Amino acid sequence: QVQLVESGGGLVQAGGSLRLSCAASGSILSMGDMGWYRQPPGKQRELVARITPEGNINSADSVKGRFTISGDKKAVYLQMNNLKPEDTAVYYCMGRAYATDFWGKGTLVTVSS
């Protein structure tokens, strides 16, 4: 089993920055891709950014140039700059191991205009 715990969410004004962190524990030796997803109010969960063990990154067009993902098997980070009100969402950390996607409980990011 893999446990993921997010931190770093909060309230920020538009144009501001936040850094999300996700700590992984448990059976992480087989950890593959890790990433961040988000669920805006009243909407479905969507990909923000995902990183492979080789360092390849896939990110949503809406965050390119503003958000940066980094990390390894033990932790993954999301640096969010120039935040917009539409970035308001619960952000979830994801880690894939043993052909299973594991999820954290989420951290709320609120961007005020």
How far apart CA 49 and CA 22 sit, in angstroms, is 13
Check pLDDT > 90 for residue 92. yes
Read off the DSSP letter of residue 19: E
pLDDT digits (tens, 9 = 90+) for 31-72: 899 999 999 999 999 999 999 999 999 999 999 999 999 998
Tokens of 61: 């067009």
Q: How many C-beta atoms surround the C-beta of residue 23 within 10 A? A: 14
